[in-house]
Amino acid sequence: MRIISTERSQVLATRISVKLAVPLAETKFTRFPDGEMYLRCEGLDDKTLIVSSIVDSDMLVQTLLAIDAADRSRNTLVIPYLGYARQDKRFASGEPISARAVARALSCGIERAFVVDIHDPGALDYFSVPAKNVTIAPAIGRYVGDLNLKNPLILAPDEGAIEFAADVAAVGGWDCDFLQKTRISGEEVQIAPKTVDAAGREVVIVDDIISTGGTLATAARMLREQGAVSIHAACVHGVLVNGAYTRLRAAGISSIASSDTYENASSFISAANAIAAAITEDVHY
């Protein structure tokens, strides 16, 4: 078996390679003069694990090329971050269901797929091969434990994310709640934990994705007003577009951490253990 990594998943792929004791296939990435992508993988074997986060359209193409390069082997695709997954419904006529389009394209040439904390697990049905979701909530919980906060309160940004937050909180037996939006007037909205008082608490807001940081920045400002002592943020996929990191710091968030599913300078948490365990537990390994 060999592991192929596309260009934006090299650190995580290397960590998975160490955990599974499976070598990485050396891969050369270049472009043709017209900008089209090219890759060449050395020393492929009869089984290939392709590790590729779809962080942008280039990485989607690179993943398709990697799958095709390994067409003579049995392929497993690990998609730590599945871009396009948030458009998982048709909201207006004439729109694509982007999650479905991407899942269908990626299913071709692979035997099975693994994704990490996909926005809506229902989107896994769009793959035409067996596809599993791997959660790194326990790894985020261990990260929170390492922050050495006093009696932290774990908050989900909305009710839909409470299960993930509860899995994080379970690591330390911490309190857990979700943030509820209440409209005070036409212009004024209040965001506060549904049941637990944030006053005097060290708060950690956990989410699957931080993109623009807008959701968390608004919540952080209001939690401060409610008397939270400190506010931290931890997410799986740190997309962090348009100055999100600085926006969050400016909103009073003391620490921001994400995982290596979307490699960047705040990727302090690794998904490698959880992915390696899911692969080895799978009957086809």
Residues of the shown chain interacting with ligand R5P in the complex, contacts defined by CB under 6 A: 157, 161, 207-215
Q: What is the smallest separation between the CB atom of 253 and ligand R5P, expressed in angstroms?
A: 12
Q: What is the smallest separation between the CB atom of 215 and ligand R5P, expressed in angstroms?
A: 3
Sign of the alpha-carbon torsion through 21, 13, 86, 67: negative
Q: What is the smallest separation between the CB atom of 251 and ligand R5P, expressed in angstroms?
A: 12
Cα-based angle 248, 164, 240 (whole degrees, multiple of 5): 25
Q: What is the smallest separation between the CB atom of 248 and ligand R5P, expressed in angstroms?
A: 9
| Token code pair at residue 222 | 């209001």
Distance between CA 33 and CA 277 in Å, rounded? Answer: 41
Kindly name the residue from 47, 89, 181, 194 that is annotated as catalytic.
181
Q: Which residue number, 14 or 254, has a Cβ lying nearer to ligand R5P? A: 254
List Cβ neighbours of 203 (8 Å cut-off, separation of 6 or more): 152, 153, 155, 223, 228, 230, 231, 232
**Whether 59 contacts 84, CB under 8 Å:** no
Q: Which residue number, 4 or 240, has a Cβ lying nearer to ligand R5P? A: 240
Q: Which residue number, 167 or 207, has a Cβ lying nearer to ligand R5P? A: 207
Q: Note if 194 is an active site residue.
A: no
Q: Which residue number, 39 or 191, has a Cβ lying nearer to ligand R5P? A: 191
DSSP designation for 192: E
Q: Which residues are catalytic?
A: 181
